[in-house]
Amino acid sequence: MAHTVILATGATANWLGQENEMRLATTGGGVSACAVCDGALPMFRNQPVAVVGGGDSALEEATYLTKFASTVYIIHRRDELRGSKVMQERLLSKPNAKVLWNKTVADVLSANDEHGHEVITGVKLTDTQTSEESTLEVGGLFIAIGHTPATGFIKDSGLEFDAKGYVDLKGQSTATNIPGVFAAGDIADSVYRQAVTAAGTGCQAALDAEHWLADRDLI
C-alpha cells in the first residue's frame, strides 16, 4: 500500500489523423506538434511552413516560427481566429505571416529527398465553404490544435480537474484535492508543456510528497 502517489502521465498532442501526417511526424519528415521544440531546426530555416490551428497556442507557435521560416501560413477552418486579440495582432504584424481562412488539411504530401529520406513537400487543403481543393507547398507542418491530458484512467478517482481536463492543483504546490496525491508535468500543465518545466514540477512533487509523509511521521 502506498501512502503517497505522484501522477506524472503527461499529455498527448492532438493530431489531425492523416496517415502521412503521423508517419512523417515519427520519422522526422517535417511534421511536428511543437514549434518551440523543432522550429529552429535547419530543415525549417528559410522554408515556407504551415501551422494548423486558431487558438493562442497556434498563434504563439506561428509567431515563433516567423523568426526562422520564409513564410508562415496559419491554416484555420473558420473565418476568424480564436486566439486573443493581443496574440493575433502580434502575429499579423509579422510580414511573413499569412492566414488561410476556411481551410482544413485533407492530406499531407511528401517525397524522398536527395538522401532517400521521406520529407513533407506540401499539404492538400479543402475549403470548408466551397469544398474546393488546393495544394500548398511547405517544408514543414506544425499541428497546434491542443493536447489531451492522460487522465482517462483516473476520471472516476475523485480527483478534481480544471476546465480543460487537467489535474487541478492546489495553491503553489503540486497537491491535488486528495490528501497524499500529487501531480507533476503535463498532466497538470495546460500552458507550458515543456520537458524542463515538467522536470521542475517533478522535483516539486517529490519534495511535497516527502514533506507530507514527514508531517505524518511516515518516514
* Residue 203 a catalytic site member: no
Which of 37, 113, 162, 203 is the catalytic position? 37
Q: Are 154 and 7 in contact (CB under 8 A)?
A: yes
34 catalytic per annotation: yes
- Which three cell numbers, joined as nine digits, stand for 91? 502575429
- Judge contact between 133 and 123, C-beta under 8 A: no
Choosing from 34, 56, 127, 168, the catalytic residue is 34
Q: Which of the following is catalytic: 38, 56, 107, 168?
A: 38
- Is there a catalytic annotation at residue 38? yes
Residues labelled as active-site residues: 34, 37-38
